[in-house]
Amino acid sequence: MTPTRVTVQGAKPYDVVIGRNLLGELPGLLGERVRRVLVMHPASLAATGESIREDLLAQGYEAFAVELPDAEEQKTAQVAAFCWQVLGQSDFTRSDAIVSVGGGATTDLAGFVAATWLRGITVVHVPTTLLGMVDAAVGGKTGINTAEGKNLVGAFHPPAGVLCDLAALETLDRWDLVAGMAEVVKTGFIADPRILELVEEHHEELREWRGAQTTAETWAVVAELVERSIVVKARVVGEDLTEQGLREILNYGHTFGHAIELNERYQWRHGAAVAVGMVFVAELARLAGKLSDDVVARHRDILTSLGLPTSYRGDRWEQLLAAMRRDKKSRGDLLRFVVLDDVAKPVRLEGPDPTLLVAAYAEVSKEPPTGRPGVTVALG
């Protein structure tokens, strides 16, 4: 498979390379000045991290590695401080670099450490989850959590490059693949109808993700979905790095989704919460007279076909509303949503009539969430 390259524009343009067996691309992305590299990976990806470190050693770099706690456990100030200690003790200078190997939690933490060490050193991301490839690793948002909430501390620090080796998805848990698909579907609804068609045609193989046993045809579909999603994200963040305008469209479904995540104390996967969030804003747009019944039904059909939830319990409105008001995307008291006029026609809806919000909530809490037993548990 010949690698595909997507360039993200901005003050320092960089490439996202998508394909297989991409390690040979790493030096080109790191640039000529780098001598020392710290490979950061969670324990679950020790073998991949070590083979990348050995490859870098063989290519003449001084290469070190740190093993991180898994998932959200690594996105803490304590883990960041440990990484700063390793960088300090290994004499990392402004011209050295970090390579992150892992899901979105790892690219967020490693990006944050790179943003803060000596006020910013080079980072190259090697995302290993679908969500990491299509979302977290591209765009330069980095961050860690605090006791008060998720992603409250962070920096915009675009990488020098991103390597999406699709082979990493072979070992990915089925529900991590499906949760990542929620962001792919989001990208389809806001910007690329072909993504929606591909998911409609291939939802069964995607939902029943079989990792290394995946057929060549399905791999081709996954590659196209990853590429198309990255093209959209690259275009959006290339125009608006710091979320002043266009980048807001990437938050489609996220305001309500974040409220669910908070209400569920982060026991739901992000993608599952965003799936319900998309149905909520689709209903909101329909009730506001913007979106047709057909496109709302298409949201439910596609997400359900992947095994993603489309409804939420009906007794949490006050908590969800309070969480949406506190969401960092809100401005003051005014609730803001990205909604659709049609597929690929996102618009902003500011301060919608509260009765519409309640009615949209009623629509997403109509179906019993236990309609497909085990789904929310499996996605948790």
Ligand X SMILES: NC(=O)c1ccc[n+]([C@@H]2O[C@H](COP(=O)([O-])OP(=O)(O)OC[C@H]3O[C@@H](n4cnc5c(N)ncnc54)[C@H](O)[C@@H]3O)[C@@H](O)[C@H]2O)c1
How far is 159 from 154, CA to CA, in rounded Å? 14
* Beta carbons within 8 Å of 47's beta carbon, 6+ residues apart: none
Q: Which stretch binds ligand X (CB under 6 A): 39-47, 306-314, 317-325, 369-377?
A: 39-47
What lies within 8 Å, CB to CB, of 205 at 6+ separation is 214, 215, 218, 221
Decide if residue 73 touches ligand X (CB under 6 A). Answer: no
238 part of the interface to ligand X, by CB under 6 A: no
Question: Nearer to ligand X by C-beta: 38 or 360?
Answer: 38
Report the sign of the C-alpha dihedral through residues 123, 124, 126, 131, in that order. positive
Phi, psi of 342 (to 5 degrees): -165, 175
Q: Which is nearer to ligand X, 26 or 172 (CB)?
A: 172
**Position among 3, 20, 44, 243 found at the interface with ligand X (CB under 6 A):** 44
- Minimum gap (Å) between residue 238 Cβ and ligand X: 14
CB of 42 to ligand X, least distance (A): 5
- The phi and psi torsions of 90 (rounded to 5 degrees) equal -100, 10
Beta bridge partners of 153: 144
Contact region with ligand X (CB under 6 A), list: 123-131, 283-291, 305-313, 350-358:
123-131
Which H or E run contains 222?
Answer: helix 216-239
In the region spanning residues 129 to 158, those forming contacts with ligand X, defined by CB under 6 A, are: 129, 131-132, 135-136, 139, 141, 151
* Least separation in angstroms between CB 181 and ligand X: 11
Taking the least distance from each CB to ligand X, the nearer of 270 and 286 is 270
Helix (H) or strand (E) holding 64, with range, is strand 62-68
Q: How far is the CB of 211 from ligand X (least distance, A)?
A: 8
| Interatomic CA distance for residues 156 and 135, integer angstroms | 14
Query: Minimum Å distance from CB 242 to ligand X?
Result: 12
The count of chain residues that interact with ligand X, using the rule CB under 6 A, is: 27
Q: Closer to ligand X by CB, 176 or 192: give it.
A: 176
Altogether, the residues listed in the chain come to a count of 380
Give the largest CA-CA distance in the chain.
64
Residue showing tokens 């902003």: 348
Rounded to the nearest 5°, which phi and psi values hold at 165?
-90, 110
x/- mask, ligand X, residues 161-190, rule CB under 6 A, reads -------x--xx---x--------------
Rule CB under 6 A: choose which of 15, 34, 42, 160 binds ligand X.
Answer: 42
Q: Decide if 256 contacts 186 (C-beta within 8 A).
A: no
Instruction: Kindly state the smallest distance separating residue 55's Cβ from ligand X, in Å.
Output: 17
Work out whether 70 is an interface residue with ligand X (CB under 6 A). Answer: yes
Q: What is the DSSP string of 236-297?
A: HHHH-TTSSSGGGGGGTTHHHHHHHHHHTTT-S-HHHHHHHHHHHHHHHHHHTT-S-HHHHH
- Closest CB 112 distance from ligand X, rounded Å: 9
| Interface residues toward ligand X, by CB under 6 A | 42, 44-45, 70-72, 75, 102-106, 108, 128-129, 131-132, 135-136, 139, 141, 151, 168, 171-172, 176, 270
